[in-house]
Amino acid sequence: MTVVREPLWDDAPRTKMQGVVRHLASFVSTLGFAAHLLTESVAFFPSVLCRRQSRAELVNQLYITGIRTLPVVTVVSLFTGMILALQVGLELRRFNQEIYLGAAVMISLIREMGPFSCGMCLAACVGSSIAAELGTMKVNDEVAALEIMSISPVRFLASPRILALVLMAPLLGFFCCVVGTMGGGIVGVTQLGVYFEQYMASALSVAETKDLFVGLLKSLMFGVIIGTVAVEEGFSTALGATGVGRSTQRSVIVSFLLILMFGYMITRVCYQ
């Protein structure tokens, strides 16, 4: 049996300085390409909403982004809330302050852990799928075929996917907070001796409108990041099946890193 291997890129830098310059140029080029993709995709949002075929594709992407990820998002957010409640509750028990369990869980979820859990799930489930799908289309010359037919790949492929993530990420982030709070309440009632009414009263007493808006803003930003990174990696795919695997891997890794960095920066700006 013969195994056909992908050709390797053999244009290695001859000096360390050449390698540094090449990596820097590649980074700047990738950043510019991603910014251009995002800008052009946003410009096509009205077209996606007005055209019947584009609306059908948008509905399909909303289903993929929102409905099909619900089982994973539910499990992750439920156990996130349960872990938070257990760890915080064990410490509060040392000071006989279990009544503040709901407040601690709610603040952690609505400000940080809810949007963070939502972003991680979307990056792993949806972002990787987009990168793999578009990468496969790129190496199979389907993207080139669209350009030959004078159909914009950004409008036809990228814009509906990014718009679906932008619309669904805040909803899923809020859903994560609700499910996580319920999970914390389950732990509080069953393992820490906290009445559910007391838990919810404490949680709602600290939930402010600003915290909700910050959490939704984070989820919105995470949706933009995941969609932009996934589309950029998909359209930049080369070297056949090997390149598809690398693009999918890079999409998840870069999305995770940007989610962490932007989450910190938004918190720093809003709560300084």
Mean pLDDT, rounded, for 7-34? 73
- What DSSP assignment string belongs to 100-144? GHHHHHHHHIIIIIHHHHHHHHHIIIIIHHHHHHHHHHHHTTHHH
Q: Cα separation of 155 and 225, whole Å?
A: 18
| pLDDT of res. 2 | 35
Residue 14 token pair? 């001859």
pLDDT tens-digit series, residues 109-153: 998 999 999 999 999 999 999 999 999 999 988 888 888 888 889
Task: Output DSSP code: residue 193.
Answer: -
pLDDT tens-digit series, residues 40-57: 999 999 999 888 888 899
| Long-range contact set of residues 32-40: C-beta below 8 Å, sequence gap at least 24 | 33/232, 33/235, 33/236, 34/228, 34/229, 34/232, 37/154, 37/158, 37/228, 37/231, 37/232, 37/235, 38/162, 38/224, 38/228, 40/154, 40/158, 40/159
Q: pLDDT confidence of 11, banded at 50, 70, 90?
A: low
Question: How far out from the chain centre does Cα 106 lie?
Answer: 21
CA distances from 97 to 9, 22, 107, 185 (A): 61, 57, 16, 15
Mean pLDDT, rounded, for 83-96? 90
**At residue 62, does pLDDT exceed 90?**
yes
Mean pLDDT computed over every residue of the chain: 88
**At residue 22, does pLDDT exceed 80?**
no
**At residue 249, does pLDDT exceed 60?**
yes
**At residue 252, does pLDDT exceed 90?**
yes
Closest residue by Cα to residue 44 from 183, 215, 120, 158 = 158
**At residue 89, does pLDDT exceed 50?**
yes
Q: pLDDT confidence of 3, banded at 50, 70, 90?
A: very low
Q: Which residue has the tokens 């290695």?
A: 12
Angle between helices 114-122 and 159-191 in degrees, nearest 10: 130
Mean pLDDT, rounded, for 163-172? 95
**At residue 75, does pLDDT exceed 90?**
yes
**At residue 188, does pLDDT exceed 50?**
yes
223 touches 168 (CB < 8 A): yes
Closest residue by Cα to residue 133 from 218, 211, 208, 61 = 61
| pTM of the model as a whole | 0.89
